[in-house]
Structure 1
Amino acid sequence: MIDLDTALAPRRANDITIYGPEGFEGMRRAGRLTAECLDMLVEHVRPGVSTQAIDDLVFTFGMDHGAYPATLMYRGYRYSCCTSINHVVCHGQPNDKPLREGDIVNIDVTFIVDGWHGDSSRTYAVGEIPRRAQRLLDVTYESMMRGIAAIKPGATTGDIGAAIQEYAEAERCSVVRDFCGHGLGRHFHEQPSILHFGRRGEGVELRPGMFFTVEPMINLGRPHVKVLSDGWTAVTRDRSLTAQYEHTVGVTETGVEIFTLSPKGLDQPPFNRTA
């Protein structure tokens, strides 16, 4: 994801890349490998395991499959994935502190495969988690899928944001405004920017061949966040629980294709629970 200030910076209309059949094939390969990595992590996300150990697994998986983690040394970031625990909204940095029973942790992985970027994240339950945390995972996943369901030629980016916001707020949760989804393909971050809130009919019109992420961050408390002194880690200001799910998608002639679906069906709650 990118921050909102970057997303809203002035851009030319022709900055949006439209990809053809080769792009779809490349994104399927990158997306599938990213999903397979997240599947692999299911058995490792458990109490006592450190997020640094998870990062090491992501790096090794990528190297073993001819892929490079896009986040590694991106703008000085030193890790192969982001690991965001409990009240950490995004960009949490792996460390040696062990995960604890009842935590939730979002793991965000982007692999570069033959020059194409596959970007996806899931929020994992660490052992048995509180009911309110499980409800947050359910709402966040459903919010993402409702946003994806709004994608088709002629729809707008505002339709995606509105679908997410309407559902999440009806469930008495809030949508983070400070970060958004983004275009990608040959580059990690491209246009269009995908806000996870908005009004139907507004924003950029969707056309076949657009590739981008849908990655809502949903809080149990208020939507406000702050970035810590490390310049990366974003947390909820009220320290409420937060969760995120992310898929990379492409607009087709008739609708949408999700490139990062789990081959094993492990990309939705409660199937990614480790207990």
Structure 2
Amino acid sequence: MTLAAARGLARRRLGKLGALGAQRQRSYTPAPPIFGAYDVLDASSAITAYPDPLDVPDSIPRPSYVPANFFTAPIWEHEAVEVDIEAPGERIQLGSRSEARVRKVASLAAEVLSEVGKLVKPGVTTAQLDAAAHKLILERKAYPAPLGYQHYPKSITTSVNNVIAHGIPDDRPLRPDDIVNVDLTLFHDGYHGDTSATFLLPEVDDKGRELVRLTEEALELAIAACKPGRPYSDIGKTIEEFTKKNGLGINNQFSGHGIGRRFHQPPWIIHYRNSEHGCMQPGDCFTIEPALTQGYRSRGTLWEDGWTVSTDSQARSAQFEHQVLITGDGVDVLTRRG
């Protein structure tokens, strides 16, 4: 989950989406030849109804932003829960129980993402990936943090091909030439762990493979730019220098974010060259999650489902995300997969 989910509340169309019929199958158009061979998902693919959420046992604590009646009432009747994303971010006290808890939940998130990644195959639906992730999260006595966050109806997001972020899992089978980003967040013992990766299906063409490889490399370079005393703006500078050299675009509608007890909080991590103030300090915990696109045009349009954002150029987009903690002398990646 990224900042756009927290800031796009006014665009939710709850009344329209709440009572309509079955979900649509996704529709396609051929990709522009310059970007490779794959199917483009368009806004007509948006679901026409929010599905009922998968159940979570009462024994697993919910985050405070989940409406009390989320699992018992239709979406248009959900209680409103205010989320103050601009309140000052909480720094993790190194060596404390808070640090141990945030490390634990981030490790659990990495475990779940690794297991879900093994299930990404042609013919599998993104709804099946969601159900599998949901089960894996509950087995760890954790809560799937996106579920109920500003009325989101699923436990993960799945963004296929030209979808930049926040794709809602559905009944569309993955195709052999798809790329798909799986983004998940766990809430456990009062803290959040947030991570994502883009997975390749077996017949992805060379241009798609290059996009995914370079996006992961951009994230690793950004992480290497982190240490106490360095400006947060160095992260965006590093990513932009790399993407320009490799002919890619950086979507500027989404950002990384501080994380801990709260899902989204300052600092906001901008993935392109910027003049944001502030330097990293020991105990700062945040995500870095650049969404890169083929070509320099990287803007996206929000679909009628209120969540999905796809590229205006119809180019593919890839994203990788890690949650990091600034230590006394460097940075630890809390969501590194084994």
What TM-score do you get using the length of structure 2 for normalisation?
0.74
Percent of aligned pairs sharing the same letter: 36
Please tell me whether residue 142 in structure 1 is matched to residue 142 in structure 2: no
Measured against aligned partners, the alpha-carbon deviations of 1:176-226 in whole angstroms (never above 9, x if no partner) come to: 001100001001111100000124x75321111111000000000211111
1:47 paired residue number: 122
Please tell me whether residue 260 in structure 1 is matched to residue 335 in structure 2: yes
Supply the AA of the counterpart residue of 1:175: I
| TM superposition shift of 1:27 | 1.6
SS in 2 for 1:124: strand
1:266 paired residue number: none
Q: Does the CA-based 8 Å contact 1:236-1:242 persist in structure 2?
A: yes
Please tell me whether residue 207 in structure 1 is matched to residue 281 in structure 2: yes
1:269 paired residue number: none
Supply the AA of the counterpart residue of 1:209: G
Measured against aligned partners, the alpha-carbon deviations of 1:226-255 in whole angstroms (never above 9, x if no partner) come to: 111111001100110100000000111111
Supply the AA of the counterpart residue of 1:231: G
| TM superposition shift of 1:24 | 2.1
| TM superposition shift of 1:41 | 1.6
Q: Distance in 2 between matches of 1:203 and 1:5?
A: 21
| TM superposition shift of 1:156 | 1.2
1:268 paired residue number: none
Please tell me whether residue 31 in structure 1 is matched to residue 106 in structure 2: yes
Q: Does the CA-based 8 Å contact 2:231-2:278 persist in structure 1?
A: yes
1:19 to 92, 102, 106: 92
Q: Distance in 1 between matches of 2:106 and 2:85?
A: 29
1:45-194 correspondence runs (5 A): 45-194=120-269
Q: Distance in 1 between matches of 2:309 and 2:183?
A: 14
Q: Distance in 2 between matches of 1:230 and 1:6?
A: 15
SS in 1 for 2:277: coil
SS in 2 for 1:209: coil
Q: Does the CA-based 8 Å contact 2:89-2:265 persist in structure 1?
A: yes
Q: Does the CA-based 8 Å contact 1:31-1:118 persist in structure 2?
A: yes
2:292 paired residue number: 218
Supply the AA of the counterpart residue of 2:112: C
Q: Distance in 1 between matches of 2:6 and 2:249?
A: 20
Q: Distance in 2 between matches of 1:28 and 1:231?
A: 32
1:235 paired residue number: 310
State the structure with more CA Rg. Answer: 2
Supply the AA of the counterpart residue of 1:177: N
1:271 paired residue number: none
Report 1 or 2 for greater relative contact order, CA contacts < 8 Å, sequence distance ≥ 6. Answer: 1
Measured against aligned partners, the alpha-carbon deviations of 1:125-151 in whole angstroms (never above 9, x if no partner) come to: 112210001100111001111111111
User: Gaps spanning 5+ residues in structure 2: where?
Assistant: 9-83
What TM-score do you get using the length of structure 1 for normalisation?
0.90
Q: Distance in 2 between matches of 1:236 and 1:16?
A: 31
SS in 2 for 1:34: helix
Supply the AA of the counterpart residue of 2:137: G
| TM superposition shift of 1:79 | 0.3
Q: Does the CA-based 8 Å contact 1:4-1:177 persist in structure 2?
A: no
Q: Distance in 2 between matches of 1:47 and 1:225?
A: 26
2:11 paired residue number: none
Q: Does the CA-based 8 Å contact 2:86-2:265 persist in structure 1?
A: no
SS in 1 for 2:255: strand
Q: Distance in 1 between matches of 2:217 and 2:255?
A: 17
Q: Distance in 2 between matches of 1:111 and 1:151?
A: 24
Q: Does the CA-based 8 Å contact 1:24-1:250 persist in structure 2?
A: no
